[in-house]
Amino acid sequence: MPASDALIAAARAARERAVADFSGFKVGAALETTDGHIITGCNIENASYGLTVCAERVAIFKAISDGHRAFRRMVVVADTPAPTPPCGACRQIMWEFCGDIEVVMANLQMVTAMLQMTDLLPLPFDKRLL
């Protein structure tokens, strides 16, 4: 099932709430649970720079803290013609908490890329190796 318009719209709306005063690069994310809930996130920067949290991780941590543990898909939105793929730190967290979900990258007009987590993070480190 392709990403719904509602999921993409939620990621675009979350992007509007980004706190990106330092980079000016606003990102929104929307995470869909297996039972159809949508949880959003935006990137949040601060003056330390290094304590910035990406939109994807904000969405995942919000979802988990609200009791959601099973996910189907994430939409990531930035205002760029090229896809904005999740950073390495986010890929690790996405893999560990969401598994092989579909990751849809979009901008303000259209979907720019769709990939599975296993394509974004081949040969992952996770608890199976501990």
> Which residues have a catalytic role annotated?
56
Using CB under 6 A as the binding rule, whether residue 52 contacts ligand THU is answered as yes
Residue carrying the six token digits 């690790």? 92
Using CB under 6 A as the binding rule, whether residue 84 contacts ligand THU is answered as yes
Pairwise CA distance, residues 79 & 52, whole Å: 19
Using CB under 6 A as the binding rule, whether residue 104 contacts ligand THU is answered as no
Q: Kindly tell me which of 10 and 54 has the beta carbon lying closer to ligand THU.
A: 54
Using CB under 6 A as the binding rule, whether residue 86 contacts ligand THU is answered as yes
5-16 and 55-65 are packed helices; what angle lies between their axes, rounded to 10 degrees?
Answer: 110
DSSP secondary structure string for all residues of 41-97? EE-B--TTSTT-B-HHHHHHHHHHHTT---EEEEEEEESSSS--PPPHHHHHHHHHH
Angle subtended at Cα 84 by Cα 86 and Cα 22, rounded to the nearest 5 degrees: 85
Using CB under 6 A as the binding rule, whether residue 23 contacts ligand THU is answered as yes
Smallest gap from residue 111 Cβ to ligand THU (A): 15
Q: Kindly tell me which of 25 and 125 has the beta carbon lying closer to ligand THU.
A: 25
Using CB under 6 A as the binding rule, whether residue 80 contacts ligand THU is answered as no
Smallest gap from residue 25 Cβ to ligand THU (A): 4
| Binding footprint of ligand THU on the chain (CB under 6 A) | 20, 23, 25, 27, 43, 45, 52, 54-56, 76, 84, 86-87
